[in-house]
Amino acid sequence: MKKPIVVIKFGSASITTADGEVDERIVLEIARQVAQIQQHYNVVLVSSGAVAAGKKFLTRYSGTLSERKAAAAIGNPLLLQIYSTYFRPFKIALAQSLCERQHFANRNQFVQLKNTYETLWKNNIIPIANENDVVSNKELKFSDNDELATLIAVGFGAEQILFTTSVPGVMDSEGIVIPELKVIDKAALSLARTDKSSVGLGGMTSKLNFARLANQMGIRAVIFSMQTENALLKAIEGQTGTICMAQPKKVSSRNKWLASGSLIKGKVIIDRGAAEALLQRKSLLLVGVKTCVEQFEEGEVFHIFDEDDQIIAVAKSKWDMGDLMKNVKRKDIILAHADDIVLL
């Protein structure tokens, strides 16, 4: 039978020491445990740490965009070399996969990426993905590698996504790890601290938001720390960290791509009546739109927020919103058809 897919994301804080150096002790543990996981899963590793590995070679590094790009260019081959060194005793070859946001926004390019990964898996090779920082422009960048890992997981139909972090999991107000989140709602998101590590871009809020997207697409997510013994083996069995439960939804591959891979061009806020209609799988009418925060054109994808400013869906527009708001008096026209709306 075809192996299920697991995406494992390592943040910079998870694989570096306090001095910002790649922690080879952790990389050895990753190799040892992934070697066992690979027997049962097709594995994708999404690893941060390239900037952390390369910035020491730049004099007076201050973290500007161009310096981060230069550090990534230096650090990516160094990071892959370290991983390869520790995977080699387990007879596992690795392949580098530098991704850009457009590879997911363009459906044809994404299919090519997927076909390449499947060829690697057939030959027992594990891809290590990272953002192609050297050429990615600011508008088309991933928000962080949590997003990259989630896009891969959703697009490839992964069974699980594992997020490593610098803390043991999602913690309550008393600092106790919450073992399971059935739904990531406003209450769950309020538990996240807003700070980030000194070496990474993401934080717990980022992980929870992308875990929520994965859950809505039927993928289980686990947020945990590599400092736990056999952390990866335990995480994949749901025995450590915080398990964010997959929602029982059937979403077509096209709509999975629409919800995660497509470039979001705009944002509207809708009233309660329109929100209730969407939950009943009805189309979005212009009459239900309270505000167009960011305009978009016909065929572009936009976010739909409710009156509490909570994102509830993404949709593909049937109209140029700018022209619609200025020139069309009728409000009973369909802004987005039900088939082009994905609830989140």
pTM of structure: 0.80
CA 138 to chain centre: 17
Answer whether 335's CB lies under 8 Å from 317's CB: yes
Pick from 117, 144, 149: nearest CA to 9? 149
What is the structure's pLDDT at 170? 92
Pick from 130, 162, 143, 155: nearest CA to 43? 162
Pick from 103, 197, 94: nearest CA to 148? 103
What is the structure's pLDDT at 189? 82
Tokens representing 42? Answer: 């097709």
Name residues of the chain where pLDDT drops below 50: 139-140, 195-202
What is the structure's pLDDT at 328? 60
What is the structure's pLDDT at 1? 54
Cα–Cα–Cα angle for 183, 311, 185, rounded to 5 degrees: 20
**pLDDT tens digits for range 216-258:** 888 999 999 999 999 999 999 999 999 999 987 677 777 776 7
What is the structure's pLDDT at 194? 52
Describe the crossing of helices 253-260 and 145-156 by its angle, rounded to 10 degrees. Answer: 170
Q: How far apart are CA 254 and CA 31, in angstroms?
A: 34
Q: How far apart are CA 276 and CA 284, in angstroms?
A: 10
What is the structure's pLDDT at 199? 43
